[in-house]
Structure 1
Amino acid sequence: MSADADLVVVGGGPIGLATAIEARLAGLDVIVVEPREGPIDKACGEGLMPGAVAALDRLGVHADGCDLAGIAYLDGETRAEHRFQRGPGRGIRRTVLHAALADRAHQLGVRRIVGKVTGLRQDAVGVRVALGASRDLLTPWMIACDGLHSTVRRLTGLARVPDSRKPSRFGVSRHFALAPWSEFVEVHWTPTAEIYITPLGPELLGVAVLGRRGLDFARVIEQSPDVAARLSGAAPVGTLRGAGPLLQRTRRRTAGHVLLAGDASGYVDALTGEGLRVGFAQARAAVSAVVTNDAAAYERAWADSTRDFRLLTSGLLAASRSPLRSRIVPAAARSPRLFGTVVERLAR
């Protein structure tokens, strides 16, 4: 097979670009396939854990943002907070982060094709990637980073059918021209949803709401008098953006010469806020597996890198859906050492 590149990365979001950068730093020739042009926005909390900040530094990616001292959970007058022990996190507007990653990828010589994967076929030596009527790409390896609703996950048969008995959760976010009032990412717990407040700059806040299908952003904000009062009169920046359903399961993360990374590889929920940290770790492990020609090694590395995320987030999500929901923040406030231990495990 005469390959078009050593590696084809499907998806040009933050994890796809980080994967491409990892691959170029490892000496691979890389093509990124992405249908959208320009910086890609997304409904998310936009707060990077210290581990994610360190990963960006290692990749040579530098983006303007706002230092984050830690994480705080709030429910009415009750507050539980933990300061990061290994340096600050960073609040970075998603479009700013994407532009910085794209610039670094371009600097390293990553090639980009504007297109959408419509099919793929594999044999013993590689993958033929169909891009509609335009062309096919031949590559020894593919890493799919094409998000929550991954086309490649479906084409490879790696997706698991969701459990219809579990209610789906969704996210909605918006930005406000307002000076941050805290150096922490604040997670305000309401009876029906969580509100993430992330400082992104001297006069910019990101506000994300997570809850069940059909959640109303304005009504959820009203459920937290403190947040509603602080946002009163603040000018919104841009439009509301939504994402979901958040829960995505996979049978495996590998199928022959195709690997899944980032949200495409499976996603539990955003309650613990370390999606990019985990995604960057997956990007590094996936490229290592390509270099060593060992897909099984990636399956093991994926399990290791996501274990804390899956266990802790699943447990917290189960509690948030139960009668224990109202006790989560008070319990964290009564056990600051335990709360801090959990945050540090997720932040590293």
Structure 2
Amino acid sequence: MSREHDLIIVGGGPAGLATALHAVRAGFDTVVAEPRAAPIDKACGEGLMPGAVRALASLGLEVPGHPITGIRYVQGSHRVQAAFRTGPGIGARRTDLHGTLHGAVLAAGVPVLPLRVGEVRQDAAGVVLPGTGLRAKWLVAADGLHSPVRRSLGLRVDSRRRPRYGLRRHYSTSPWSPYVEVHCGRHGEAYVTPLGPRLVGVALLTDRRAPFDVQLERFPELAARLPVERAVTAVRGAGPLRQEARSRLHGRVLLVGDAAGYVDALTGEGVSLALAGAGALVDNVRRGTPDRYESDWNHATRRHRFLTELLVRVRQQRALAPLVVPAAERLPRVFATVVNALA
């Protein structure tokens, strides 16, 4: 007879690995199921905001990267920037973030099994993954934006909003600013994140389907700085970005990270929210209050979801989108307040 674990975590990205670290510290017998080999790359803005840096530090982790001192918005001749008030963020390659978390999980003695999870069965006492011999009291779905577990449980909600997509590529060039620069265009945004002495990452968020180079040409200032011969990685994509879940709890299955629901990458807080959600999930399982996880998740993400939703709606209104950066430029204190509320 197979041994019953306390937690099976499906998905070995940042949300799943952070959940595993919190779980092992709480004394839970934990196993992670992740079919991909580490380190796992992903289309990502790669800017860790100060909240994410603090959350990683609370786990005893430090991710290598380039300091980020704030956020700068650019739209034509209009520019506005705000420094972080609670310490710097870090521009870090997604592979470095994943490698740091993955190494810590292995060092903590948590098995990471090369399993792809399809079907999930549960009863009043626990969860079974058929064909694997794995059974646990709880299952954590941390399997990403298009979570197969969320879909298999009927928790996926179809969105009627205009879909947005993300594209990312790296360039060999010296960062020209210690800020994450957000360049606002007609159909989306371009994020430039300093990642090292001779490396920047460029992430494009857009509602138009077109190749990366075509999208970048819509930002002439960036296109001039970043000729294609300086590109050092292939383009990675993700989307549609908006994903909704009916609930974060379904019987003995709990959802965390992008699997729990995602609004947009516009404010760059995905990793911070995943880390916060991991801690809240494990705390509630430890206390025997899993039914409180939904309200704790809502409380932890409410401000972020509201501000992100508001900004996305404004950015998708043709009449309002051109006014965002000029308005922020005229109201720098308000802009700084919003930046630091999210950071």
Per the normalisation by structure 2, the TM-score is 0.97
In the alignment, what sits opposite 2:138?
Answer: 141
Structure 1: gaps of 5 or more residues: none
Shift of 1:122: 1.2
Alpha-carbon contact 1:170-1:246 (below 8 Å) kept: yes
Q: Which runs of no fewer than 5 residues in structure 2 stay unpaired?
A: none
Distance in 2, matches of 1:213 and 1:229, equals 21
1:208 aligns with 2:234: no
Q: Is the 8 A contact 2:2 2:133 kept in 1?
A: no
From 320, 326, 331, the equivalent of 1:324 is 320
Count of residue correspondences: 342
1:14-163 equivalent positions in 2, closer than 5 A: 14-130=14-130, 133=131, 135-163=132-160
CA distance in 1, matches of 2:95, 2:14: 10
Post-superposition shift, 1:3?
A: 4.4
Give the Cα separation in 2 of the matches to 1:302 and 1:136.
31
TM-score computed with the length of structure 1 as normaliser: 0.96
Residues 165-203 of structure 1: per-residue CA shift (max 9 Å, x gap): x21100000011111000000000111120000001111
Give the Cα separation in 2 of the matches to 1:307 and 1:340.
Answer: 19
Cα deviation code 1:293-340 (max 9, x no counterpart): 222211111001110111001011000110201111111111111111
TM-superposed CA distance for 1:213, in Å, is 4.3
1:50-76: CA deviations, max 9, x gaps? Answer: 000001111112221010000111101
The offset of 1:230, in angstroms, is 1.3
Does the CA-based 8 Å contact 2:80-2:325 persist in structure 1? yes
Verify the 8 A CA contact 1:76 1:224 in the aligned structure 2: no
Cα distance between partner residues in 2 of 1:241 and 1:126: 37
- The share of aligned pairs that are identical, in percent, is 49
Pairwise CA distance, 1:157: 1.6
Partner SS, residue 171 of structure 2: strand
CA distance in 2, matches of 1:280, 1:124: 28
Counterpart AA for 2:149: V
Aligned residue runs from structure 1 range 183-332, under 5 A: 183-232=178-227, 235-322=230-317, 323-332=319-328
How far off its partner does 1:233 sit? 6.0
CA contact (8 A) 1:177 1:234 kept: no
Measured in 1, the distance between the counterparts of 2:121 and 2:289 equals 19
Residues of 2 paired with 1:15 and 1:156: CA distance? 19
Distance between the aligned counterparts of 1:122 and 1:138, measured in 2? 9
The 8 Å contact of residues 185 and 198 in structure 1, kept in 2 or not, is answered as yes
RMSD: 1.3
Question: Are 1:333 and 2:310 an aligned pair?
Answer: no
Q: 1:172 aligns with which of 163, 167, 170?
A: 167
Letter in 2 for 1:184: Y
